[in-house]
Amino acid sequence: MKTETLKTKNGHALNGFSIEDIGDDHLFTSLDTPMKANAFDMPDSEKKERISILFSEIMDVLGLDLTDDSLKGTPDRVAKMYVEEIFSGLDPKNKPKVALFDNKYQYNQMLVEKDITFYSNCEHHFVPIIGKAHVAYISSGKVIGLSKLNRIVQYYAKRPQVQERLTQQIANELKTVLETEDVAVIIDAKHLCVSSRGVKDDTSATVTTYYGGVFNTPEKINELQNYINS
């Protein structure tokens, strides 16, 4: 997939192909989440209000009765969920604050945090991606709290995503925070856009990896896989 040639963002054509040609292919044009320059000018309260109005229109077009007791609160609930929960990773103010500590134990082997459960959403259909992330690093002299590894994964997962981008974003953040290239990220996830619609394959899963620094050797990859599978 030659992502560097996919330059247009107007939805009409990508690399000479129309939206219909692309179909369900999961293309992405940047390692950065596509955002407007003024994405955070609007306060969260106004975002929720506008999303609620727009989602009411979607429900109305679908023919749902918004006066029904079970449905009339749905637009507000969806708006709150979008802004405060499942897409909260879009806002930099929610980025986890990470403190570095000296590696006083002089532990110089790989540290692995495996089976980090995350929930994201496919940016092509806005349906869930459910999976587990395994992250590892070798200290360059500094360490971070274990919970921060989970929080970094959750932060980048809580936005419309493509799994390849999610993998890279987590890896880049870990490299920046830990000041080392010796970082590895493995993501194993199920995409509901594959299992619940389209091809409707409920058994397949998608695995993406990033191996940086010393992890990019057969020996370290095998060692990491042994830890994850143990």
Any idea how long the chain is? 230
Annotated catalytic residue within 49, 84, 125, 223: 125
Residue 113 designated active-site = no
Contacts of 137 (CB under 8 A, 6+ apart): 110, 111, 174, 178, 180, 182, 183, 184
Annotated catalytic residue within 84, 113, 123, 223: 123
Contacts of 19 (CB under 8 A, 6+ apart): 11, 12
Residue 12 designated active-site = no
Residue 169 designated active-site = no
Angle between helices 74-81 and 44-61 (to 10 degrees): 130
Annotated catalytic residue within 26, 113, 124, 169: 124
* Residue carrying structure tokens 């459960």: 117
Annotated catalytic residue within 26, 154, 161, 163: 163
- Confirm whether residue 122 is marked as ligand binding: yes
DSSP character for 95?
S
Residue 134 designated active-site = no
Annotated catalytic residue within 164, 168, 173, 191: 191
Residue 26 designated active-site = no
Task: Report, in angstroms and rounded to the nearest whole number, the Rg of the chain calculated over CA atoms.
Answer: 20
Annotated catalytic residue within 26, 122, 134, 168: 122
Residue 124 designated active-site = yes
Residue 191 designated active-site = yes
Known catalytic residues are 122-125, 163, 191, 193
Residue set of the binding site: 122, 125, 193
Which residues define the annotated binding site for Zn(2+)? 122, 125, 193
